[in-house]
């Protein structure tokens, strides 16, 4: 309930929103931040930030959380399109009351992507249903850290101010779980720099309006074909280069 109130406040209050939003431009900052996360002496070094995230360090800033997620986008386990099926399986297991099985599935998902929204949220939900409140709190706090940092990366109203998310499903989960609203339209497009975005319409309760929200998933789109698929394309490119050079 606390997260929903904060997010709703961010959407409707210019002054509060202005305080929460970080200075982030995807085309300008993504590659720079990614490079910095690999520098041992950097304040946004991935390993340093990741150890704090695992401890659920509440002092992690939105900028640090965005840097942490950007640092994960070239991880060997980051294949977000392949996570969608297991995300749906986890959701269904919790809907069926199979909480222990849901937790086991969440463990698999979060091992590959510790920042996965549905993995953290549904693991928290399953633990709460099993009466394990302390464990539940750990994962809902991780969900909050990731979600609020994504919503701090823009205002979601245009390509230029699109929200950074890790997964092509994250926009849908944010609308459903964080905003507790329904999706009234679905689309996609590219900005002037060629970055790929999901464009989802949100419809709040007691409203007939369908408002477009933009989610930047360029980094996810680059991993669309999975590890094996990417290897296949790389081998094909090598073959083409060999033919061209002969």
Q: How confident is the model at residue 204 (pLDDT cuts 50, 70, 90)?
A: confident
Q: Are 24 and 63 in contact (CB under 8 A)?
A: yes
pLDDT of 92-113, one tens digit each?
A: 999 999 999 999 999 999 999 9
Q: How confident is the model at residue 13 (pLDDT cuts 50, 70, 90)?
A: very low
pLDDT value, residue 238: 52
Report the pLDDT averaged over residues 9-36: 73
* DSSP state, residue 222: T
Q: Are 215 and 71 in contact (CB under 8 A)?
A: no
Q: Which residues, 6 or more positions from 77, have their beta carbon under 8 angstroms from its beta carbon?
A: 111, 112, 113
In DSSP terms, 187 is beta-bridged to 199
Q: Say how many C-beta atoms besides its own lie within 10 A of residue 54's C-beta.
A: 11
Report the pLDDT averaged over residues 53-64: 96
pTM above the 0.75 mark?
yes
d(CA 171, CA 221): 14
d(CA 41, CA 169): 34
Look at residues 132, 141, 126 and name the one whose alpha carbon lies nearest to residue 90: 126
pLDDT of 211-235, one tens digit each?
A: 999 999 999 999 887 555 444 434 4
> Is the per-residue pLDDT at 85 higher than 80?
yes
pLDDT value, residue 226: 57
Tell me, letter by letter, the H, E, C secondary structure of 151-172.
Answer: HCCCCCCCCCCCEECCCCCHHH
């Amino acid at each position: 309930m606390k997260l929903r109130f904060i997010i709703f406040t961010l959407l409707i209050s210019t002054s509060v929103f202005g305080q929460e939003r970080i200075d982030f431009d995807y085309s300008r900052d993504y590659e720079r931040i990614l490079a910095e996360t690999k520098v041992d002496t950097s304040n946004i070094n991935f390993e340093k930030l990741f150890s704090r995230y695992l401890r659920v360090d509440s002092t992690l800033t939105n900028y640090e959380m965005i840097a942490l997620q950007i640092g994960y986008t070239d991880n060997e386990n980051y294949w977000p399109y392949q996570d969608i099926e297991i995300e749906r399986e986890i959701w269904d297991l919790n809907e069926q009351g199979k909480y222990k099985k849901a937790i086991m599935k969440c463990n698999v998902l979060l091992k590959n992507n510790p920042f996965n929204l549905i993995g953290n949220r549904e693991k928290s939900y399953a633990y709460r249903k099993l009466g394990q409140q302390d464990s539940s709190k750990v994962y809902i706090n991780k969900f909050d850290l990731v979600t609020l940092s994504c919503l701090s990366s823009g205002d979601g109203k245009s390509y230029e101010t699109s929200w950074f998310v890790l997964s092509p499903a994250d926009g849908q989960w944010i609308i459903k779980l964080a905003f507790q609203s329904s999706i009234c339209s679905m689309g996609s497009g590219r900005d002037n720099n060629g970055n790929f975005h999901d464009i989802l319409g949100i419809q709040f309760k007691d409203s007939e309006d369908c408002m477009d929200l933009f989610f930047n998933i360029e980094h996810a789109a680059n991993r669309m074909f999975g590890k094996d698929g990417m290897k296949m394309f790389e081998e094909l490119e090598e073959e083409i280069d060999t033919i061209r050079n002969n």
